């Protein structure tokens, strides 16, 4: 089996860093973006632009979640803002999309097996994050077991691996890694809102700001 990777690619800071890491490690990369009913498409636009600039094969899959269940897909739910670090560490916010990474990893697995890829890469992080249950190491380990048990490749002794190189890194670590990989940070989009400029108040904006501040760097997207 060739050294080939499917990268779950949102166009945000973390997933773009993971994409560049996979390329650095010599993988033939295919990027997978999933449109799941989010209220804006800024990240998806970023993903398309970055993948196009890299010449990386890129698929955008449309997934319907008519039951909603998250403020990222339901405009009637309030988007949390200005949450403290303690709130992020102890509570799961309304931006959590029920079982999103389970769905994403399943779609990526299907493409990986169909294309004979050996791994699926995801930008999950469990250090500076919003407390989502499907970004944690125990969840990823359980899903890797699903990969082994639920596929032809796995049953034949060639299971597809899940690679989450950022899962135990701080946001400042991720920013530093992104800079070392020459990630076009000005093209990435992390904000939960789709305005012209990041809101700088949602969890994603605050965590991104924390990363740049602790890394001693300026976020180029804020100067665009």
pLDDT tens-digit profile of 88-147?
878 899 999 999 999 999 999 999 999 999 999 999 999 999 999 999 999 999 999 999
User: Do 51 and 10 contact (CB within 8 A), yes or no?
Assistant: no
Range 7-20 average pLDDT: 98
Sign of CA dihedral 76, 81, 83, 85: positive
Strand, coil or helix: 191: coil
Token reading at 62: 């449309």
Mean pLDDT check: name the lowest of 11-15, 114-118, 220-224.
Answer: 220-224
DSSP state of 184: -
Token reading at 87: 């709130």
Q: What is the pLDDT of residue 90?
A: 81
Range 5-21 average pLDDT: 98
Sheet bearing 119-121, strands edge to edge: 58-62, 28-35, 4-8, 119-121, 161-163
Question: Any idea what the CATH number is for the domain that residue 131 is in?
Answer: 3.40.50.620
Q: What is the pLDDT of residue 1?
A: 46
User: Do 18 and 38 contact (CB within 8 A), yes or no?
Assistant: no
Angle at 211 between CA 184 and CA 100, to 5 degrees: 80
C-alpha–C-alpha distance, residues 16 and 183, integer Å: 7
C-alpha–C-alpha distance, residues 181 and 48, integer Å: 19
C-alpha–C-alpha distance, residues 33 and 64, integer Å: 14
Which band of pLDDT confidence, cut at 50, 70 and 90, is reported for residue 2?
low
The secondary element (H helix, E strand) that includes residue 50 is: helix 42-54
Q: What is the pLDDT of residue 224?
A: 54
Task: Give, in order, the Cα–Cα distances in Å from 46 to each of 62, 67, 99, 101.
Answer: 16, 27, 24, 20
Q: pLDDT tens across 141-165, in order?
A: 999 999 999 999 999 999 999 999 9
Domain total in the chain: 1
Q: pLDDT tens across 22-61, in order?
A: 999 999 999 999 999 999 999 999 999 999 999 999 999 9
C-alpha–C-alpha distance, residues 19 and 30, integer Å: 9
Full-model pTM:
0.96
Q: Tell me the residue range of the domain where 75 lies.
A: 4-223
Q: What is the pLDDT of residue 100?
A: 98
Token reading at 73: 């897909």
Which band of pLDDT confidence, cut at 50, 70 and 90, is reported for residue 85?
confident
Q: Is the pLDDT of residue 177 over 90?
A: yes
Q: Is the pLDDT of residue 210 over 50?
A: yes
Strand, coil or helix: 165: coil
Q: What is the pLDDT of residue 54?
A: 98
Q: What is the pLDDT of residue 91?
A: 84
Length of the chain: 224
């Amino acid at each position: 089996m060739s050294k080939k990777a499917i990268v779950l690619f949102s166009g945000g800071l973390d997933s773009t860093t993971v994409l560049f890491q996979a390329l650095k490690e010599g993988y033939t990369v295919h990027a997978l973006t999933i449109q799941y009913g989010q209220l804006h498409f800024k990240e998806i636009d970023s993903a398309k632009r970055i993948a196009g600039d890299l010449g990386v094969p890129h698929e955008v899959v449309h997934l319907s979640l008519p039951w909603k269940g998250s403020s990222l897909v339901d405009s009637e739910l309030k988007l949390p803002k200005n949450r403290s670090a303690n709130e992020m560490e102890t509570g799961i916010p309304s931006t959590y999309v029920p079982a999103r990474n389970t769905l994403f990893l399943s779609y990526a697995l299907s493409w990986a097996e169909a294309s004979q890829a050996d791994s699926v890469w995801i930008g999950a992080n469990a250090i500076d994050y919003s407390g989502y249950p499907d970004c944690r190491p125990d969840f990823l380990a359980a899903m890797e077991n699903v990969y082994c048990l639920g596929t032809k490749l796995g049953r034949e002794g060639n299971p597809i691996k899940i690679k989450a190189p950022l899962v135990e890194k701080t946001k400042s670590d991720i920013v530093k890694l992104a800079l070392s990989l020459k990630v076009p940070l000005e093209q990435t989009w992390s904000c939960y809102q789709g305005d012209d400029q990041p809101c700088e108040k949602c969890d994603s904006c605050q965590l991104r700001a924390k990363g740049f501040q602790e890394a001693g760097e300026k976020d180029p997207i804020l100067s665009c």
